[in-house]
Structures are given as structure tokens and as C-alpha cells.
Amino acid sequence: MLQQLLFRLNKNSIANMKYALFLSFLSGMNVLMAQEGDSLSVLKMDELIISGQYNPQTVNKSIYEVRVINREMIDRQAGNNLADLLNQTLNMNIIPNANTGKSGVQMFGLDSQYFKILVDNIPLINDEGLGNNTDLTQINLDDVQQIEIVEGSMGVEYGANAISGIINIITKKSVQHKWVISPMIQEETVGKEYNWRNQGRHIQSLKVDHNISDRLFANVTYTRNDFMGFWNDYHGKFHLENDGKRGFEWLPKRQHTAKGILRYKHDNYQLFYKLEFFNEGIKRYSNEVLQNYDPATETDQPVGSDAKFKTHRWVHHLNASGRFEDVVNYDFSFSLQQQKRAVEQFQYDLRKDEKFDALSQIYESRKGYYSKGNFSNFIENKTFDFQMGYEFSVMDGYASSLAGTFADPINKKLENYDVFASSEITLSKKLSLRPGARVLFSPQFDNQVAWSMSAKYLFEKGYELRAILGSSPRLPNYEELYSYFVDVNHNVQGNPNLKPEQGKSAFLHLKKQFDFQPNAALQSKVSAWYIDVKDKIDLVVVEVAPLAYSYRNINAYKTFGFTWTNNIRYNDFTAGMGVTYAGVSQELEAQSNQKADFLFAAQFNVNASYPVPTTKTVFSAFVKYNGPINQFVQRQNELNETVFIKGRQDGFTWFDASIKQRFLQDKLEVTAGARNLMNIKSINTTATNAGAHDAAASTLMLGYGRSYFLKLLYKINL
């Protein structure tokens, strides 16, 4: 395809390039047709990937095992943001927070602090970190070509906080036509709720792609996503009674995303500049109403304590890549990023429809610059390749005392100056190795080292074996470093002397493709993995009399498991099936009577897609079952002693389905479907710790029930 060829240009000479361009024009028709029929990414062995590669290359050539969710898959789920999409992915769980409106991701049971989100190979900022703690609902997918997921510790490639894995979002940087103008609207119900005034989810977007010249490409995308909240049995803003039912079950939020890219490609280099602006407004209405009842007049003055959160994100990303004088391949990125979440807190007089005592402040923010550079292919050598590079980031972080238990706002700079090197050694046609190391320098922490060792072995009869070892540290967060909650009855303090946690992982993948007939194939993969986090930071009792808590590098987290995935194609019918079985063990060193046994849980997923040959209507279904999870949790027994009991979180199933059809000579694409057909809202759990001040939760909020969507995308090609 055109883009693959263009990527290959980086490697090839100018003469080859012209030939390639010529080829790409010839294949123009084929490209379109291939996209039409192409449904399941993984069988497309020539799909180009970027994550962890020296140069973009195909999945089967990669030493890393990279999973790809391509545009077609995104479209079939009508995924507008990352949270819409990842529910169906094995070893991952999306955890929405109805109170903050954020959605985090858990991978291998580790939360979003252990996991990095990148866009075009560089980490994306959010108000709590760079690449970590990302709110998935804030990542719009309208300009995305594919999403790459790499499981396991990727410290050498991506630095700190990449213990459980990375998600790399690759944006689209080319089109075939001079102009492509794509307006889109998407209407969704939120559970049973839908109207045009104050219920449901309403998305509008406009995308314009333009080839200004043969060398210069530009794209502008704007999306408005208006989620009007999940009311459930709440009564909204104007509810007068103090019965805890004011406001919303899930907070309403409205997002605007505007993105642009300018890409210039020369014969042996390319430049692109990307700009993104993101704006989000969330309204939080207090569930309780302060009545202010006056017995003298027998009247009330109902008041709510409300807040408005406003988030802004600016991302500038400048990239240059190419080959210099036939000596070295380079790839530089320089990025300025900022995300700021501001809050206005106020009292709201319901009867007068007036706010008073308004107080605005920055809630949390991150701001800074980032640069990454790679050098590789020093010598054109088939058996040995070498990459070295650097990654810098200088981030100003701010957290108001509202954002955590801080005595004063936290205002700290975090600098990282990393250098890394790795090499790919092709020992034979069958065996290739890739050792690597990174040194992380930071004035805030001791120097850290991440290492990796990967190997790929191609057996006879098409069996591919990959073994990947890697490590990555996790840097302590503000809560762990700077908490301060001390009064007569409490003493909880952060620990500025914490060391980074140490994560390492081992993955083994055995893969084979079976071709039965020209039009039927099965690809099967068995993976085994182990992830280990040492020096895990937890809040522990550091003094008994008087009772005092602080954070220490004291615990450990281990998980291992097996995953078996299959992809089948029979003519145009494609299907995927996977099952994973994983055990988690948590060692809590501070507790003498703790239980560190491995507790196991299963997940499986199935997806299928069938395009009706006559009408080209594509029917798709996605199912993922998350088995019950057992976890040892701390409770107080009747003697007030801390005991560990086995808590249990119920299993549940995500089931989505859609129908896609094109009309008007393929100009209009209509997708209709349903999310969460099993109508999941919350599940029961006893697997939560009871805190000092709060009882253990008994339900976990997961969704807002069965919802329907209709998406209309119109494409004007000029």
C-alpha cells in the first residue's frame, strides 16, 4: 500500500522511490478494494507497525509482539475515544470513575500508573502525568489510522512507567485524493436515555484532508463530543429535596478536540508538525442539597455545592525522520505539551438560579517539553543493526490541595534525561536477537537502568517463537511523595525519599498461521507471561503510638498467565477468539498475617464480522467475558485486628454489535449498533479494602447499560 511504500522510502534510495511511487499509483484501486474487504487486522501479516521498531515494519518481522487495532475495527465499534474501544481487549479493563468523569485502564491488574499512552511514538500529556494516568475518554480517535498495543515492560524503548505495556496511537498522515472532506455525526443513547436537549451522547466532527502538493499534506479535524451524563435514578441540577438524588449518576461532559497536521516529505526525509487542542468541561452537582430551612418563616433556601471542571490541552509535535548521507537513519521528535485542569467551586441557590461564593483555581496541571531522537541503520548490514537514542522530558507539575491530601499546593519539576541503545542481531534466517539498555537520569531520583532482551526464532513449518524480557521503573507519584494529612487524630505523610518501583516482565509467544485453502486461514498464538513489580509503594503504619502512616517501598506484585488467541478467515468472514488465564499475587511485607497466594481469573473474547457479498453490509459482533476476580483484602475483625479475607468481584460480559453499510457510491457510511447488550451497570464486589475512614464498597460501577448508536459519515473526495 501507498503508505507502506512511503515508509520504506526511508530505507531505500531515490531511484527506488520513484519506482515505488509509480507502483503506488498503479495499486491505487487495489488499495481501496483491499480496505473494503479487509476486516481483521491480524491476518494481514504485512500490516506496518511502529511501536518498538527501528523502522516501520510488518508485524511478522517484528521481534516484539505487537497487537494492532486498525481503522476498520475502530469504525465497526464506532469508537470515538479510546475508552469506547478497549473494553474488548484481553488483559485489559476499563475502569470508569463516575465521580470525576475519567476512565482509566487496568492492564494485567496494574492501574494506569504502570502503563503508557503514546501518540505517534511520543507520550501524551494529561493533567496528572506524561503518558500515565491518562483519561481514556480524552483521547479522540477521529484522525487515527491504527492503535498498537505492546504488552510487557518497555523501559528501553519508552522509559519509566511502562511496566505493564504501552498503547501507541498512530495517526493518519496521507490520503489518496487531492481533497477529502468528511463530516460525521454520531448519536448515542446513554442507557435508555436519549433526547436532543439534555440526554444521550451527541458527537459531530469534520475532517478535511488535503494534498497541497505531491510533497505536502495537511489535515484538520474537529470533533465535538457532548455526553449529557447518565441520569439513572438521579434528578439533575434542579432537584430540591435532600435525598441524595440531585445531580447525575455519571457527570455530564462536553469535549472539543481540534487537531491539525502538516506533513512534508522529501526524497530522503520527511517532516511533520502536529497541533492538537483539547477542551473539556465537566459539571459536578452535589448529590446533597443544603436546605437552609428557616423555622421562623417556614421557608427554605436549597443550596447545592457544585463545581465546574475545565480542562485544556495543547500539544505541539514536530518530527523529522529520514536517512542522512547513507550513513545513518534518524528520527527526531520535539514536543511542547500542556494540560491544565481548572476548577470553579461554588454554591448554587436552586430557587434563585444563582451561584455565589465562587472560587476558581487550577486543580492540577502538567506542562513541559519533550524530545526523543533515534539513530539507526549506521551501516547497511543484513545481520546487524544498531540503534541509539535519547529521550528528554522536563515537566512542571502542579497539584492543588484539592487534588490530593496535600497541606499546600504541590509545584514540582520532574526532569528525565535518558539515553538508550539496542541492537538487532540476525544470527541466522531463523534466529534474531535484540538486547537493549537504557539509563534514566533524573535530578529527582537515583539513576535508573532499564534493560531488555528479546529473541525471535522461526521454526520449520511456519512456527514463530518470540521471547521478550524487559524492565521499567515506575516513578513515585505526588500522593506518595508529598501527602500531608496531620491533625489530632490522624497522621498520614508522604515520603520524599521513596525510590522508583522496579518492574520486569517476561513474555513468550508461539505463533503459527495455517492456510487451509486459498480463501481460509487460521492464525493461532499461545502466550505465557510473567510480570513482577518490586519495591511496590504502599501506605503502611510506620509508628504505632501515636499511630502514623507513610509510604514505603515495601510490597511486591506478581502476575503470570497464559493467553491463547486465534484469528480465522473464511472468504469474507473473519473472526477472532481469545482466552486468558492469569494469577495475581500481592505481597504486603508490612503485614505478618498476609496472604500472598496466587489468585486466578479468566477472560475470553470473541469477535466476528461478515460482509454480505451482495450488499456489502458488514455485520459485526464483539463479546468479552471478564471472569470473577478474587483478591485478598484487608478488613477489621470484631477484635479490631487487621485480617485478610478473600474478596470476590463478580464476572461480567461486554457485548457490542453493529451493522455498517455504505450508500451513494460509498460516499455515505452508516453504522448502527448497540453497546453493552448485556445491560451491565455495576457488579457486586467484596474485593475492596476498607479504609480507616470509609467502609468497603459493595458495588463497582462499570457502565450505563444497553445503549444504541447511529453514526453517519459522509466522505467527499475531490
Partner 1 sequence: MKIFKSLLILFVLLSQISCNDNDAVASQDFVIAFKEQSVDFSTIENSKTIQLTFSEKAAYAGSVTLNWTADQATYNTDFETFPNASSGQLTLDFAAGAAGVSFEFKNLIFPFDRSDKAVTFKITSINYGAPAVIQGYSSLLVSFDRAIGGTVLPDVGGPNQPNQVFVDLSTNQVVLSRRDLWDFGFYSGSEDRVVLNGSLYMAATALDQNNIDAVTPASVQGLINQVAVGTFDPTNENYIDDPKGDISETAIAEISANTADNKVYLVNMGYEIGTATPPVGSVAIAGASRGFKKIQIQKTAAGYKLLYANLEDTTHREMDIQKRPDYNFTFVSVTNHNQPQVEPLKDKWDLCFTVFTNVIPGNGSYGYSDFVLFNRKAGVKMYQVNTTQVSYANFNASHLEEQRFVLDQRVIGADWRDVFTGGAFTDRFYILKDTDGNVYKIKMLSMINTSGWRGYPSFEYRLVE
User: For residues 508 and 672, which CB has a smaller minimum distance to partner 1 in the complex?
Assistant: 672
**Judged by CB under 8 A, which stretch of 23-31, 39-47, 196-204, 550-558 contacts partner 1?**
196-204
Site membership for partner 1, residue 659 (CB under 8 A)? yes
Site membership for partner 1, residue 614 (CB under 8 A)? no
**Judged by CB under 8 A, which stretch of 141-149, 185-193, 377-385, 642-650 contacts partner 1?**
185-193
**Judged by CB under 8 A, which stretch of 74-82, 298-306, 461-469, 683-691 contacts partner 1?**
298-306
Q: How far apart are CA 692 and CA 709, in angstroms?
A: 43
Per-residue binder mask for partner 1 (CB under 8 A), 668-687, x = binder: --x-x---------------
Site membership for partner 1, residue 620 (CB under 8 A)? no
Which residue type is seen at 78?
A: A
- Distance of closest approach, residue 592 Cβ to partner 1, in angstroms: 18
Task: Select from 204, 242, 524, 653 the one that contacts partner 1 (CB under 8 A).
Answer: 242
Site membership for partner 1, residue 664 (CB under 8 A)? no
Sort residue 78 into left (φ over 0), alpha (ψ -120 to 50) or beta.
left
Site membership for partner 1, residue 364 (CB under 8 A)? no
Instruction: With residue 384 as reference, give the H or E element that holds it.
Output: strand 384-399
Place of cell 460525521: 184
How close are the terminal C-alpha atoms of the chain, in Å? 21
Site membership for partner 1, residue 208 (CB under 8 A)? no
- Distance of closest approach, residue 619 Cβ to partner 1, in angstroms: 11
**Judged by CB under 8 A, which stretch of 107-115, 153-161, 216-224, 538-546 contacts partner 1?**
538-546
Do the Cβ atoms of 55 and 10 come closer than 8 Å? Answer: yes
- Distance of closest approach, residue 539 Cβ to partner 1, in angstroms: 15
Task: Select from 91, 112, 189, 502 the one that contacts partner 1 (CB under 8 A).
Answer: 189
Instruction: With residue 19 as reference, give the H or E element that holds it.
Output: helix 14-26
Neighbours of 61 (CB within 10 A): 13
**Interior CA angle at 601 toward 600 and 605, to 5°?**
150
User: For residues 231 and 375, which CB has a smaller minimum distance to partner 1 in the complex?
Assistant: 231
**Judged by CB under 8 A, which stretch of 150-158, 194-202, 313-321, 516-524 contacts partner 1?**
194-202
Site membership for partner 1, residue 570 (CB under 8 A)? no
Task: Select from 20, 27, 194, 378 the one that contacts partner 1 (CB under 8 A).
Answer: 194
Neighbours of 367 (CB within 10 A): 17
Task: Select from 38, 187, 267, 538 the one that contacts partner 1 (CB under 8 A).
Answer: 187
User: For residues 517 and 637, which CB has a smaller minimum distance to partner 1 in the complex?
Assistant: 637
Do the Cβ atoms of 708 and 189 come closer than 8 Å? Answer: yes
Task: Select from 193, 364, 501, 656 the one that contacts partner 1 (CB under 8 A).
Answer: 193
Task: Select from 28, 236, 583, 628 the one that contacts partner 1 (CB under 8 A).
Answer: 236
Site membership for partner 1, residue 192 (CB under 8 A)? yes
Site membership for partner 1, residue 305 (CB under 8 A)? yes
Strand partners, 599: 584
**Judged by CB under 8 A, which stretch of 15-23, 44-52, 343-351, 528-536 contacts partner 1?**
343-351
Neighbours of 358 (CB within 10 A): 12
Per-residue binder mask for partner 1 (CB under 8 A), 629-648, x = binder: -----------x--------
Distance from CA of residue 626 to its chain's centroid? 19
Site membership for partner 1, residue 513 (CB under 8 A)? no
Distances (CA, A) of 463 to 263, 432, 523: 39, 14, 10
Place of cell 519506482: 19
Site membership for partner 1, residue 519 (CB under 8 A)? no
Query: Nine-digit cell at 318?
Result: 514536530
User: For residues 13 and 401, which CB has a smaller minimum distance to partner 1 in the complex?
Assistant: 401
Do the Cβ atoms of 571 and 604 come closer than 8 Å? Answer: no
Site membership for partner 1, residue 22 (CB under 8 A)? no
Distance from CA of residue 31 to its chain's centroid? 29
Task: Select from 13, 381, 401, 411 the one that contacts partner 1 (CB under 8 A).
Answer: 401
Site membership for partner 1, residue 347 (CB under 8 A)? yes
Neighbours of 353 (CB within 10 A): 9
Site membership for partner 1, residue 484 (CB under 8 A)? no
Neighbours of 633 (CB within 10 A): 20
Q: In the chain, count H helices and then E strands.
A: 7, 40
What's the alpha-carbon Rg for the chain, to the nearest Å? 26
Per-residue binder mask for partner 1 (CB under 8 A), 485-504, x = binder: --xxxx--------------
Instruction: With residue 181 as reference, give the H or E element that holds it.
Output: strand 179-188
Query: Nine-digit cell at 343?
Result: 476548577
Which of 122, 101, 97, 126 minimizes the C-alpha distance to 113?
126
Mapped onto helix, strand or coil, the DSSP state of residue 505 is strand
Do the Cβ atoms of 503 and 536 come closer than 8 Å? Answer: no
Site membership for partner 1, residue 296 (CB under 8 A)? yes
User: For residues 296 and 718, which CB has a smaller minimum distance to partner 1 in the complex?
Assistant: 296
Site membership for partner 1, residue 699 (CB under 8 A)? no
* Total chain residues near partner 1 (CB under 8 A): 59
Residue 679 makes CB contacts below 8 A (sequence gap 6+) with: 705, 706
User: For residues 267 and 288, which CB has a smaller minimum distance to partner 1 in the complex?
Assistant: 288
Q: How far apart are CA 440 and CA 416, in angstroms?
A: 7
- Distance of closest approach, residue 548 Cβ to partner 1, in angstroms: 10
| Residue 557: burial class (beta carbons within 10 Å; 0-12, 13-18, 19+) | buried
Site membership for partner 1, residue 303 (CB under 8 A)? yes
Neighbours of 667 (CB within 10 A): 13
Residues 271-290 that bind partner 1 (CB under 8 A): 286, 288, 290
Task: Select from 13, 16, 198, 411 the one that contacts partner 1 (CB under 8 A).
Answer: 198
User: For residues 233 and 325, which CB has a smaller minimum distance to partner 1 in the complex?
Assistant: 233
**Judged by CB under 8 A, which stretch of 189-197, 216-224, 366-374, 380-388 contacts partner 1?**
189-197
| DSSP 8-state symbol, 24 | H
Query: Nine-digit cell at 475?
Result: 516513578
- Distance of closest approach, residue 715 Cβ to partner 1, in angstroms: 17
Which of 422, 500, 567 minimizes the C-alpha distance to 90?
567
Binding site for partner 1 (CB under 8 A): 187, 189, 192-199, 231, 235-236, 238, 240, 242, 286, 288, 290-303, 305, 345, 347, 350-353, 356-357, 359, 401-402, 487-490, 544-547, 640, 659, 661, 670, 672, 708, 710
